[in-house]
Amino acid sequence: MKRVLAAIVLSAALLSGCGKISDVRRRLVVHSIGIDPSDDGGYTVSYQVFSGGGNSDSGPVDASESTVKTLVSDGKTLAEAEEGLRLKTGKEVFLGDVELIVISDSLKDEGLGEFLQYFRKSDVYLGVNAVYCRGSASKVIGTKLEQGEAASILLREVVERAVEESRASSSRIIEISNAVSAPSEAIAIPLLEVKRGEDSGEDSTVSNLSVGITGGIVVSGVRPVKSADADACAGIRLLRGNAKRLSLSVNTSSGAASLCIDNIKIKRKLGFSGGSPLITVKISGRYKIMSAPENARESEIVSEAEKALLSLCEKARRLSAESGDDLFGIGRMIEKYAPSASKLYGGDFSEAVKSSVYDVFARLSEY
Amino acid sequence: MSPRLEASVAGIKSLFGGSSDLNTVRLEVSGVKCGIMTLEGMVKSSDLSKMLFEPLMGFEKKNAEPRDVFKFISEQAAFSTEEAVINLFSEAAEKLCSGFAIVLVHGCPRGLAVSAQGFASRSVSEPDGEPDIKGTREALSDNLRASMALIRRRVKSPKLRFELLKAGKTSSTEICLVYIEGKTPEALRKRAKKGVEAIRSDLVLTSGSVIPYLSERGGSLFSGVSTTERPDVVAAKVNEGRIAVLIDGVPFAAVCPSLFAESFQAVDDYADKPYYATYLRLIRYFAFFVSSLLPGLYVACAVHHPEVLSRSLLLNLLASEERTPYPVTAEMMIVIVMFEILREAGIRLPRAIGGAVSIVGGLVIGDAAVTSGLISAPLLIIIGITATSAFAVPALTPQMTVLRIANVLAGAAFGFFGIAVIGASALVSACVTDSFSVPYTAPLTPFTLRAMSDVFLKFSERNRKPMTVESLNGASKNGGD
Amino acid sequence: MPLRKISAGQLMLLLFLSRIMHTMIFRAESFASGTPLMLGLLVSTAVEALLAIPLVIYFSKGGADPASELFPSRPRLLKIFYSVYFLVIAGTTVALFTGFLQSEFSNVVSPIFSVLLIFAASAYCASNGVEGLGRAGTVVFWLFAGLFVFMASVNEGGFDLLNIRPMTENDLSPFFEYLADGISSAWWLPMFCALGENLRSGAAKAAYGYLVLKLAVLEALLFLVTIILWRYVDVLGYPIFALGAYAKTDFIQRFDAINMLVWAINCVIVVGTYVFICTKPSKKPKAGSYAAAALGAGIAFISYKSGLRFNDGVFLIFKAAGVILLGTAVPAAALIKLGLKRRAEK
């Protein structure tokens, strides 16, 4: 009886197609997604996809210029665009391999709510970065930046490098989602820019494109509110307490010097001064001078670097205080360390952010 | 038996129905008619001539009575190491079948069975099924006595016991329980004996006829009884309190109780340095899981869970699969079945042409199938790894094969969920398998610390504690987790 | 046939796997802060420790089976109550697990097959007795432990200790909600009672060992979920699963499916244990286990279709009633009867 039952279940399972068997060849592997506004008020979504089937080489295959292509699909929503792509190619769209999501800054007014909801429900890894770009996201996605490298990998590495260097905030889907779900909390989403340089003439091996993070767009409560430059973004990382490494260029009496600050440690403390939150931030780190004028004094370089750090923090403070966007998690600090005071704000900490006083100390030591 | 020689001879002949291999030699000893009956090929003629005919012909006594001759044969002379007086035809037939010569004396209503076994048997060969580098080169023999001697040579202790039993309604095969008095629990010996006595088959030709009667209960996938053709393994096992069952005509011993963890032990482990033996053992555990799971996981990933695969692996898989005509599942099943056919052909073919199988397999499957785009290269690599891994743990080949195919089907139909259901069922199946109250999965679960020195890690001989039946049995009863 | 027995450690791990199964398929409605949940778990564990006293004393004093103790002539009568209770628990567990599969792996297996396969495998496991389940439970526990440690070590998420906040007045409502859920989910008490006769010895070790293990592991998991995922749990629904979804290596890109694989193995073992309890009143345990599995599958379908949740009002009361009556009142009554019997014997 047991065997008969097992046989029935197994054969029914195999014959009924209950598992919705979808072979790997029926999958369309997407490497990156670019979202632009469409003329009819919906979205034009560009998908950089893998198309390695035509590759006749028997060697290893990876996402390279020759094995990727960009497909475009329109829809009133992102889900509709995905469905359109599915119908267009006849394949299941697989978003589990997405490396980067690029949103055109033309969509700043739209807000991030729909995007976040769509990506949370899809196969997209919750650690994938989502960034804004200047101009068309489709062009960014389809850019061939370097021989043999797909744009998605390179763009992701550009973003990750900027985050590592504390020049941009990490903007993983989970981080954006967490930041925007609190009323006054905000996040600076990196702004990616692809610039076309001067024409390199007949030499086609020299790329005239450059790509980089040039700043960020501050998003509060799913809605982008303002732009931030690269220095302000670095200041946000410092005041938020999650900067690890930073490269600085400073001017000394002898000329410009560059130094790399590593092993940054930031201690933040919450207090109150005259009813306003007083945030004491102590920044310490180890520096390595990368280049300096021959007769420059090290102490001067370090002193200028410390001042530069304070200046970055000041830029970030001003950005936050102008509109009361909580870029540094002040609300959560108050909730944690001063729960009685948090009641006064009733869950909205924008006033606290505006009135916050910062006491920042920076001290660098030699490597 | 009749006092008349001819009547006795006729009685025995009638039992054998005139079988042409029954030989009767008639002779006169001091004027008394005698007959010697043997079965063709079961006795050694030269031995029989030396130890029976020559002394008999040398017996001289005037006016000898039949009882004098019989007394000489049975009491005064020693013809062989084993003799027995026969009173019944059936006893005579049984002894004849066991290679004895039956001496009949006219006027005596009895016969005498004289041991003169000399049937042709294979000489002691190498253990081809369980080869190793530093262990013995001798394997158990088809000849039960030779196998017993091989074990005795390794355990020179008077406490080593060989208990002969008979099984098989028609074959009446000799079965020998091997154990060491004082080390094997008495209850285990009694239950093994009871198991052998319960065998209902007509013929006992392989260890498969005995094993079901030694297994206590449990899931059908795993068995608490293992087989070995190595006398050194039998010696080691009986030293740990196990019972080995030797079968006449079978060059394998069934050992019980046997454990899952023992499938990963090899004789070389005890000859190598402990760290190296430990490393090899962990490799074998890994090989077991690779062989059982890898094809299933591959199919499940390709069909349902591509997000698990790393980017480059996924893209390579996609690129290869796009060039092949069949879905991954069908491809996998084709290659698995092909591999099983090749393996089977390799075993059955004479050794001289066995190499042809490798050539056909290597060329047809390995190269042509990929070049022609019939099979994708990553899939072939998966099967290559799987097959090689299976060879590392020969003791569990049937289980690995069944699990492999089940996992491929379940993985194709239900992804990792299907594999999980198969895995849970197989796990419980292994966990409920008992052999003589010793859990098959001991000492892992139930956990017994004192028996763990020879499971994953191989401790040095000075610190190693053998996995004795008593320690494992105790674990299942007294708090092993 | 002699009664097959398991050790205290094996029972402890079976109870723990059952609890962690519940935590895994617990779909968070709102997870504003981990603190009320962590405190709720702490307090509910303390309450469970008190509720466990009668059964621990009963089994420690040599009591074998509360049903036989209370109704020596008709123990099956009480055992049927346990069967019905665990049939519902098994059905709902599978329904919720099916909900999880449909939510996270909708294209992999259809609801009907996930229910059928889990119950078919569970029936097979249960029909082989509690010894196999106990031993397999130990393996699954270590499988879980290994997976969690590995996933934690390759987790890409950053820790933000600001997510751990002190309790406020606003947290009182979720705190009491979690407390009620914690106590009503303590069906390990009736489970312990039902499996008590299969316990070799060490009732106190099994019960209090389980509570300590549960508290330590779940608090650690909740702590990690709070500091790594924070509000994202609201979105994902399955917090422990989401923790695994954030792990990544170069070789294994995502751990979602691997996590699900271990959950599914656990589901089979846990539901197998429930089915085994359901077969207790049956004179033919093998046939009984398949019958119980068939009934359980029916309940699972109904639960799945009706969208029943563990913390729904009616089900909350059903669970709690089972915990109080079958997990505390019955062993307490059995303990009193055992005491009176012993006194009379003296």
Q: Over chain C (346 residues), what is each successive 10-residue block's mean pLDDT?
A: 82 96 74 78 95 95 90 90 95 93 88 94 94 95 92 84 83 87 92 94 94 95 85 74 83 90 96 96 90 95 82 82 95 94 87
Angstrom distances, CA of residue B165 to CA of B80, B150, B168, B175, B187: 22, 19, 10, 5, 17
The confidence band for A232, taking pLDDT boundaries of 50, 70 and 90, is very high
* B219–C contact, CB cutoff 8 A: yes
Q: How many CB atoms lie within 10 A of CB A252?
A: 18
Give A314→chain B minimum CA distance, Å: 42
**B249 and B173 in contact (C-beta within 8 Å)?**
yes
**Structure tokens given for C164:** 């751990």
Has residue A9 been placed in a domain?
A: no
Residue contact A61–B316, C-beta within 8 A: yes
Which residues of chain B are within 8 Å of residue A53 when distances are taken between CB atoms?
A: 318-319, 322-323
b/e code C180-215 from CB counts within 10 Å (16+ = b): bbbbbbbbbbbbbbbbbbbbbebbebbbebbbebbb
In this structure, are A221 and A347 located in the same domain? Answer: no
- Facing residue for C265 by CB, picked from B423, B429, B479: B423
pLDDT at A18: 47
Residue contact B319–A61, C-beta within 8 A: yes
Has residue A160 been placed in a domain?
A: yes
Has residue A10 been placed in a domain?
A: no
In this structure, are A196 and A247 located in the same domain? Answer: no
Has residue A16 been placed in a domain?
A: no
Angstrom distances, CA of residue A230 to CA of A163, A214, A220, A246, A266: 11, 6, 18, 12, 20
Give A328→chain C minimum CA distance, Å: 11
Which residues of chain C are within 8 Å of residue B302 when distances are taken between CB atoms?
A: none
In this structure, are A228 and A271 located in the same domain? Answer: no
- Interval B426-462: pLDDT, tens: 999 999 988 888 889 988 888 888 788 888 887 777 7
Residue contact B413–A25, C-beta within 8 A: no
Question: Which residue, A240, A263, A279, sits at the end of a domain?
Answer: A240
In this structure, are A186 and A199 located in the same domain? Answer: yes
pLDDT at A53: 58
Which residues of chain B are within 8 Å of residue A63 when distances are taken between CB atoms?
A: 311, 315
What value, to the nearest 5°, has the Cα angle with vertex B234 and ends B232 and B239? Answer: 95
Of A16-30, B106-120, C2-16, C153-167, which range is least confident? A16-30
What is the per-residue DSSP string for C28-70? -S--S-HHHHHHHHHHHHHHHHHHTHHHHHHHHTT---HHHHH
The confidence band for A19, taking pLDDT boundaries of 50, 70 and 90, is very low
**B207 and B425 in contact (C-beta within 8 Å)?**
no
Residue B479 pLDDT exceeds 50: no
Residue B77 pLDDT exceeds 70: no
**B427 and B358 in contact (C-beta within 8 Å)?**
no
In this structure, are A245 and A235 located in the same domain? Answer: no
Residue contact A23–B312, C-beta within 8 A: no
In this structure, are A180 and A69 located in the same domain? Answer: yes
**C19 and C291 in contact (C-beta within 8 Å)?**
no
Question: Which residue, A183, A212, A240, sits at the end of a domain?
Answer: A240
Separation between Cα atoms, residue A209 and residue C287, nearest integer Å? 73
In DSSP terms, which residues pair with A130 in a beta bridge?
A: A101
Has residue A7 been placed in a domain?
A: no
Strands A357-366 and A276-291: parallel
Give B368→chain A minimum CA distance, Å: 14
Separation between Cα atoms, residue C149 and residue A2, nearest integer Å? 38
Nearest to C162 by CA among A165, B345, B336, A270: A270
Separation between Cα atoms, residue B289 and residue B285, nearest integer Å? 7
Mean pLDDT of chain A: 84
Strands B100-105 and B160-167: unpaired
Residue A120 pLDDT exceeds 90: no
Residue contact B481–C109, C-beta within 8 A: no
Mutation target to probe the B interface, by most B beta carbons within 10 A, among A25, A27, A94, A100 is A25
H/E run at residue C105: none
A235 vs A58 pLDDT, higher one: A235
- Facing residue for B302 by CB, picked from A24, A96, A123: A24
- Interval B16-26: pLDDT, tens: 887 888 889 88
**Which residues, 6 or more positions from A363, have their beta carbon under 8 angstroms from its beta carbon?**
A282, A283, A284, A306
State the angle between helix axes of C256-278 and C8-24 in degrees (0 to 180), rounded to the nearest 10. Answer: 120
In this structure, are A260 and A274 located in the same domain? Answer: yes
- Facing residue for A9 by CB, picked from C120, C156, C166: C120
Question: Which residue, A240, A270, A291, sits at the end of a domain?
Answer: A240
Whether omega before B394 lies within 30 degrees of 0, making that bond cis, reads: no
In this structure, are A70 and A194 located in the same domain? Answer: yes
In DSSP terms, which residues pair with B104 in a beta bridge?
A: B35, B111
Q: Could you write out the three-class secondary structure of chain B?
A: CCCCHHHHHHHHHHHHCCCCCEEEEEEEECCEEEEEEEECCCECHHHHHHHHHHHHHCCCCCCCCHHHHHHHHHHHCCCCCCEEEECCHHHHHHHHHCCEEEEEECCCCCEEEEECECCCCCCCCCCCCCCCCCCCCCCCCCCHHHHHHHHHHHCCCCCEEEEEEEECCCCCEEEEEEEECCCCCHHHHHHHHHHHHCCCCCCCCCHHHCHHHHCCECCCCCCCCEEECCHHHHHHHHHCCCEEEEECCCCCEEEECCCCHHHHCCHHHHCCCHHHHHHHHHHHHHHHHHHHHHHHHHHHHHHCCHHHECHHHHHHHHHHHCCCCCCHHHHHHHHHHHHHHHHHHHHHCCHHHHHHHHHHHHHHHHHHHHHCCCCCHHHHHHHHHHHHHHHHCHHHHHHHHHHHHHHHHHHHHHHHHHHHHHHHHHHHHHHHCEECCEECCCCCCCCCHHHCCECCCECCCCCCCCCCHHHHHHHHHCCCC
Strands A100-104 and A129-133: parallel
Phi-psi region of C69 (alpha: psi -120 to 50; beta: other; left: phi over 0): alpha
Question: Is pTM beyond 0.90 here?
Answer: no
**B374 and B335 in contact (C-beta within 8 Å)?**
no
Residues 277-316 of A with CB under 8 A from C: none
Q: Which residue of B has its CA nearest to A50?
A: B315
Provide the residue type at B438 as one letter. V
Mean pLDDT of A6-19: 54
pLDDT at C181: 86
Residue contact A58–B319, C-beta within 8 A: no
- Facing residue for A29 by CB, picked from B303, B314, B323: B314
* C164–A contact, CB cutoff 8 A: yes
Separation between Cα atoms, residue A5 and residue B339, nearest integer Å? 30
The confidence band for B478, taking pLDDT boundaries of 50, 70 and 90, is very low
Q: Is A85 helix (H, G, I), strand (E, B) or coil?
A: helix
Residue contact B314–A13, C-beta within 8 A: no
Separation between Cα atoms, residue A1 and residue B189, nearest integer Å? 35
In this structure, are A39 and A86 located in the same domain? Answer: yes
Residue contact B318–A96, C-beta within 8 A: no
Provide the residue type at B203 as one letter. L
pLDDT at A261: 93
Task: Taking the CA atoms of B296, B302, B305 and B309 in sequence, report the sign of the dihedral they define.
Answer: positive
Nearest to A231 by CA among A314, A116, A352: A314
**Structure tokens given for A163:** 């985050």
Please report the domains of chain C, with CATH numbers, ordered by start residue: 8-345 (1.20.1740.10)
Separation between Cα atoms, residue A342 and residue A335, nearest integer Å? 5
- Residue A359: HSE in the Cβ half-sphere, 13 Å Cα cutoff: 12
**Structure tokens given for B88:** 């019944």
**Which residues, 6 or more positions from C176, have their beta carbon under 8 angstroms from its beta carbon?**
C40
Which residues of chain B are within 8 Å of residue C110 when distances are taken between CB atoms?
A: none
- Interval C85-98: pLDDT, tens: 999 999 999 999 99
Residues 437-476 of B with CB under 8 A from C: 439, 441, 444-447
- Interval B121-172: pLDDT, tens: 777 888 888 888 888 889 999 889 889 999 998 998 889 999 999 998 888 8
Positions of E strands within A197-254: 209-220, 223-229, 246-252
Has residue A8 been placed in a domain?
A: no
- Interval B321-358: pLDDT, tens: 888 888 899 999 999 998 888 888 888 888 777 777 77
The confidence band for A58, taking pLDDT boundaries of 50, 70 and 90, is low
pLDDT at C2: 61
Separation between Cα atoms, residue C53 and residue C49, nearest integer Å? 7
Largest alpha-carbon pair distance within chain A? 92
Q: Which residue of B has its CA nearest to A54?
A: B319
Q: In chain A, how many domains are there?
A: 2
**Would you say the ipTM is above 0.90?**
yes
Mutation target to probe the C interface, by most C beta carbons within 10 A, among A23, A336, A340, A342 is A336
Largest alpha-carbon pair distance within chain C? 70
Residue A258 pLDDT exceeds 80: yes
Domain that holds residue A82: 24-53+61-240
pLDDT at B53: 79
Which residues of chain B are within 8 Å of residue A94 when distances are taken between CB atoms?
A: 306-307
Nearest to B119 by CA among B42, B199, B200: B42
- Facing residue for C250 by CB, picked from B310, B416, B481: B310
Separation between Cα atoms, residue A341 and residue A348, nearest integer Å? 12
**A352 and A330 in contact (C-beta within 8 Å)?**
yes
Mean pLDDT of A13-39: 76
C121 vs B29 pLDDT, higher one: C121
Has residue A18 been placed in a domain?
A: no
Residue B349 C-alpha from the chain's centroid: 21
Mean pLDDT of A310-333: 90
Residues 79-98 of A with CB under 8 A from C: 96-97
Phi-psi region of A166 (alpha: psi -120 to 50; beta: other; left: phi over 0): left
Separation between Cα atoms, residue A357 and residue A277, nearest integer Å? 6
Task: Taking the CA atoms of B337, B339, B342 and B343 in sequence, report the sign of the dihedral they define.
Answer: negative
In this structure, are A83 and A160 located in the same domain? Answer: yes
Residue contact B303–A21, C-beta within 8 A: yes
H/E run at residue C253: none
Separation between Cα atoms, residue A304 and residue A261, nearest integer Å? 13
In this structure, are A279 and A166 located in the same domain? Answer: no
Separation between Cα atoms, residue A120 and residue A115, nearest integer Å? 9
Residue contact A96–C235, C-beta within 8 A: no
Angstrom distances, CA of residue B326 to CA of B322, B335, C179: 9, 12, 55
In this structure, are A111 and A230 located in the same domain? Answer: yes
Task: Taking the CA atoms of B263, B264, B268 and B273 in sequence, report the sign of the dihedral they define.
Answer: negative
Separation between Cα atoms, residue B86 and residue B65, nearest integer Å? 19
Provide the residue type at C203 as one letter. A
